[in-house]
């Protein structure tokens, strides 16, 4: 399978939304995204100033996406990876690794001191991120409050 990494632009929104819907429908997430909600998420990042949105594409087909939002921390600007998703039938072919590498390289060129993300602490996803040279920060926790 051949693919290239490029900046995600408006013409990719529909394909990127499809990636989110399909990737999150499977374990470990088992989430039911609508195409509308997924497209809104992608569009939000595209409209956020100085964000980094990347797509892995083969011809006109979007195989994977990485969406990063620039934030300012005490150490300087950083990129928070809000989404990293690959079409289920394209997983295991180096696309996620290529997207994370391109995100890190792009962020570095654009003056960011680090790239960070939130994911599962254990399991295959954790192992994947660690293979991509991301470290687990044990002192951080994920806190959530829901209205319902």
68-82 pLDDT, tens digit each = 999 999 989 999 999
- CA–CA gap between residue 62 and residue 65 (Å, rounded): 8
pTM (2 d.p.): 0.89
Question: Does residue 67 come out as left (phi exceeding 0), alpha (psi in the -120 to 50 range) or beta?
Answer: beta
Sheet holding 114-117: strands in order across?
Answer: 4-7, 52-58, 61-73, 76-86, 114-117
Distance CA 34, CA 52 (A): 23
* pLDDT one-digit tens code per residue, 119-140: 777 778 778 778 888 788 877 7
């Amino acid at each position: 399978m051949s693919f290239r990494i490029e900046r995600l632009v408006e013409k990719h929104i529909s394909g990127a939304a499809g990636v989110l819907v399909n990737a999150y429908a499977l374990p470990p997430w088992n989430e039911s995204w609508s195409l509308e909600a997924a497209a809104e998420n992608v569009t939000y990042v595209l409209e956020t100033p100085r964000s980094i949105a990347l797509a892995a594409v083969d011809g006109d087909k979007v195989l994977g996406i990485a969406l990063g939002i620039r934030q300012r921390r005490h150490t300087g600007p950083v990129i928070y990876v809000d989404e990293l998703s690959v079409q289920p039938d394209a997983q295991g072919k180096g696309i996620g690794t290529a997207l994370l590498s391109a995100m890190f390289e792009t962020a570095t060129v654009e003056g960011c001191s680090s790239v960070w993300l939130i994911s599962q602490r254990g399991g295959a996803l954790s192992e994947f991120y660690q293979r991509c040279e991301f470290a687990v920060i044990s002192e951080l926790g994920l806190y959530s409050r829901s209205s319902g």
